[in-house]
Chain A
């Protein structure tokens, strides 16, 4: 393996690690969002349920995009 290939591979690992860290951060936000939504729903308040579902969907799309990036990066 040449130095160029090794450097490219190292950059790929860093990119995948970065994507994974971002996915984990998004997941923590999503877990908090789900527990907060459930808590307000059980308290009888349903005003924020739709917004929470939309935001959770956006976070999932973000995770999916990062996963695709991690899958395709060399």
Chain B
């Protein structure tokens, strides 16, 4: 602690509680350097926090969940569902007679809900005009930094199942 103190010979309480008002407001170069060093410590702690999150995060498990029946929605129609938890909203799109794709509905920019624009054949985020390809979820335009997470689908007879999430 003594290393971080100012080099002056005055006790710390006299520096912090000066008898002169003007001195109380005055920030010395050394105090400012100390503050910047503490900010640097905060940044380092932030990096350690990310490291801890990365190493101790649980591997997500993806259950097999029924999304709907094939033919339930028309071609170029959509159905909303949740996967893998009830809080994760997703969108299922029927792109062809036997073609279905599903994506997380959460925009990778600021988490607004994306919707399917059949007219332009793309997924659109209404908040900041971020557009995603309906083929692979890649970013076509706008501020989103990453593609939409793709929901892996399987068909079990006439039933469509969501079985996993593919992050970019």
**CB-contacts of B45-62 with A (<8 A):** 46-48, 50-51, 53-54
Is B47 a contact of A33 with CB atoms below 8 Å?
A: yes
If A17-B29, A43-B145 touch, whether A23 touches B36 (CB-CB below 8 Å) is yes
Is A34 a contact of B46 with CB atoms below 8 Å?
A: yes
Is A49 a contact of B50 with CB atoms below 8 Å?
A: yes
Residues of A within 8 A of B145 (CB): 39, 43
Nearest A residue to B167, CB-CB: A44
Is A71 a contact of B40 with CB atoms below 8 Å?
A: no
Q: Give the interface size class of chain B.
A: 20 to 34
Residues of B within 8 A of A68 (CB): 3
Nearest A residue to B39, CB-CB: A27
If A41-B53, A44-B168 touch, whether A20 touches B33 (CB-CB below 8 Å) is yes
A residues contacting the other copy or chain, number (CB 8 A): 38
Residues of B within 8 A of A71 (CB): 3-7, 30, 33-34
Q: Mark B16-57, 1 if CB is under 8 A from A, else 0.
A: 000000000000011011101101110110111011011000
Residues of B within 8 A of A24 (CB): 36
Interface centre among A38, A73, A74 (most CB of B within 10 A): A38
If A27-B40, A31-B43, A34-B43 touch, whether A53 touches B29 (CB-CB below 8 Å) is no
Is B37 a contact of A64 with CB atoms below 8 Å?
A: yes
Residues of A within 8 A of B4 (CB): 67, 71
CB of B49, distance to nearest CB on chain A (Å): 9
Residues of A within 8 A of B5 (CB): 71
If A16-B30, A43-B167, A71-B3 touch, whether A63 touches B37 (CB-CB below 8 Å) is yes
Interface residues of B (CB under 8 A from A): 3-7, 29-30, 32-34, 36-37, 39-41, 43-44, 46-48, 50-51, 53-54, 145-146, 167-168
Interface residues of A (CB under 8 A from B): 13, 16-17, 19-20, 23-24, 26-27, 30-31, 33-34, 37-39, 41, 43-44, 46, 49-50, 52-53, 56-57, 59-60, 63-64, 66-68, 70-74
